Structure 1
Amino acid sequence: MKKSTFLHLRIPFSFFLLPVFMLAVAVSTQISTQNLLLVFFLLHFLVYPASNGYNSYFDKDEGSIGGLKKPPKTTKELYHVALIFDVIALMIAIFISFEFAIMVFIYGMISKAYSHPSVRLKKFPIVGWLAAGIFQGYFTFLMCYVAINDLNLADTLIWKIQFPGILSTLLLLGSYPMTQIYQHEEDAKRGDITISQKLGILGTFHFTALAFFISSAGFFYYFDHAFSFQVALLFGVFMAPVLFYFGWWYMKVRKDRANADFDSTMRLNLVSSVMLNGYFLYLALS
């Protein structure tokens, strides 16, 4: 495998998507350890890297992208490796359940539609934003929950499972525009119109702050009713560093829009992922 291919798979970037899996683990009640390990590997070392590589191949970015400050040029090998990863993921998914495999297939097709030139959801600000938020949030949460607990999808149609899935999408719908905030110029060159471009730099901050407030209030309500007030309060404690960094960065951007850059975006992703993963891990272990 070429170095450029490996880099474009952006395997470490999967850490930023780990909170959805960890939330599913945290609220699970009848965990299959074997399935848990298989789903973790399948998503974070096969499905997400395949999606990253496939989209990178068609985007052919010259500027910074999520997880890569200076992306190398892509080759046809990247396209083939992405498809091979998808096939391996489906083979593992079938071993867990046919229903889970269908969900993995659907997720893969949506992720490909995001950048493939024949569809390219990325060109449509609202549709692209909704597709990313729903399928990386709610859909992935249910996909993980079904496999981890060895259930059918019909078994998830209860409040205690549906509500956190919806909240994960609300959180992603708010945070996703932030991942595009430094790519306005690059996206415009390709003719892509993202939700962050529509909102503007400061508008993206304002929108994310509102979405974060709504989703955080929802999580507090959920953890208070499904677990305890102490568990809900601890969620606020874990989110405090995220709020602090976000506010500090926002003030810097108000002074100079150039501060809405790649490095600051990745730091926000890192802080929020560490805090969310830490909280959900605590909840799962306790």
Structure 2
Amino acid sequence: MTKSTFLHLRFPFSFFLLPVFLFALAVTRSDQTFEVIWIFFILHFLIYPASNGYNSYFDKDEKSIGGLKEPPKTTLELYWWAMALDGLALVMGWVISWQFGVMLLIYGLVSKAYSHPAIRLKKMPVIGWLAAGIFQGYFTFLTVVLGLNDLGIGGLWEMQWQIPAVLSSLLLMGSYPMTQVYQHEEDSARGDRTISLRLGILGTFHFTGVFFFFSNMGFLTYFYCYFDWITAVAFQVSLLPVMGYFLSWYLKVRKDEHQANFEHTMRLNLISSLLLNVFFLGWYVLGEG
């Protein structure tokens, strides 16, 4: 594997998607160590890097992308490594169950449709946004629940799984446009009409702010009704630094839109992911205790 291929697989970027896995783990209260480690590895070391690599191969970005400030040129090797990681994920997924394997296959197909020139959901602002938010949130949450519990596909329709799965998507659908806010020039030149490009820079901030408010209220209600007020308040407190940074960045962008750049975007992703990971992991550990 060349250095270029390794960098484009963007293994560290999986950290930004870890909150969905930890949220599902905390809700299921699973104590099946093998399944937890197995599913974690499949998602964060195989499925997500494969999706990153596949996307990079067809995008051929020359400017900053998520997790890479200066992406190197891609080669055909990247394509085959992405396919190999996907294939290995499917084989390993079947160890859990065939239903789990099928859900991994569906996720992989959608992630490819997002980038492949024959379909390229990335060119469709609303559909691309929905696909990313639903499959990285709702669908992934339910995939983890299915893998950690002895239940069939039909069992996933229970409200105890559906409500947190929907909340996962709401959070991602609000934050996802922010990951595109610094890529307007390159996306526009390539013909990709992302949701952030359609909203504009300030519009993206307004959109994310509104979505964040409603998803946050959803989490507050969920934790209060299904668990306790301490959990609900703890979640709000854990996100205060995220709100503070977002507001501070927004005020800078209002004065100078060039502040909507790679560095600020990655910093927001890191702060929000870190705090969400700490909260969900802490909630899981304390709940188990």
For Structure 1 versus Structure 2, the TM-score category normalised by the shorter chain is: over 0.9
Q: Which residue of 1 aligns with 2:166?
A: 166
Secondary structure of 2:7's counterpart equals helix
Q: Which residue of 2 aligns with 1:145?
A: 145
Query: Could you report, residue by residue, the CA deviation over 1:103-153 in whole angstroms, capped at 9, with x for unpaired residues?
Result: 000000000000100000000000100000000000000001110223222
Alignment of 1:14-163 (within 5 A): 14-163=14-163
Partner Cα distance (2:247, 2:96) in 1? 43
Alignment of 1:187-202 (within 5 A): 187-202=187-202
Letter aligned with residue 176 of structure 2: Y
Partner Cα distance (1:240, 1:150) in 2? 37
RMSD after superposition:
0.7
Sequence identity percentage: 60
TM-score, normalised by the number of residues in structure 1 = 0.99
CA contact (8 A) 2:29 2:284 kept: no
Partner Cα distance (2:4, 2:208) in 1? 33
Name stretches of at least 5 consecutive residues in structure 1 with no aligned partner.
none
Letter aligned with residue 81 of structure 2: V
Letter aligned with residue 113 of structure 1: A
Query: Could you report, residue by residue, the CA deviation over 1:46-80 in whole angstroms, capped at 9, with x for unpaired residues?
Result: 00000000010000000100000000000000000
Partner Cα distance (2:266, 2:30) in 1? 35
Partner Cα distance (1:144, 1:159) in 2? 16
TM-score, normalised by the number of residues in structure 2 = 0.98
Q: Which residue of 2 aligns with 1:276?
A: 276
Give the superposition deviation at 1:30.
4.1
Give the superposition deviation at 1:256.
0.2
Secondary structure of 1:73's counterpart equals coil
CA contact (8 A) 2:170 2:215 kept: yes
Letter aligned with residue 68 of structure 2: L
- Count of aligned residue pairs for this structure pair: 286
Give the superposition deviation at 1:154.
1.4
Q: Which residue of 1 aligns with 2:204?
A: 204
Partner Cα distance (1:200, 1:150) in 2? 45
Secondary structure of 1:112's counterpart equals helix
Letter aligned with residue 172 of structure 1: L
Partner Cα distance (2:188, 2:206) in 1? 22
Partner Cα distance (2:249, 2:24) in 1? 30
Partner Cα distance (2:158, 2:108) in 1? 26
Letter aligned with residue 260 of structure 1: A
CA contact (8 A) 1:67 1:266 kept: yes
Give the superposition deviation at 1:39.
0.4
Give the superposition deviation at 1:29.
3.6
Give the superposition deviation at 1:32.
2.1
CA contact (8 A) 1:32 1:149 kept: no
Moved more, 117-126 or 23-32: 23-32
Give the superposition deviation at 1:160.
1.7
Partner Cα distance (1:168, 1:268) in 2? 18
Q: Which residue of 1 aligns with 2:183?
A: 183
Secondary structure of 1:117's counterpart equals coil
1:223 aligns with 2:223: yes
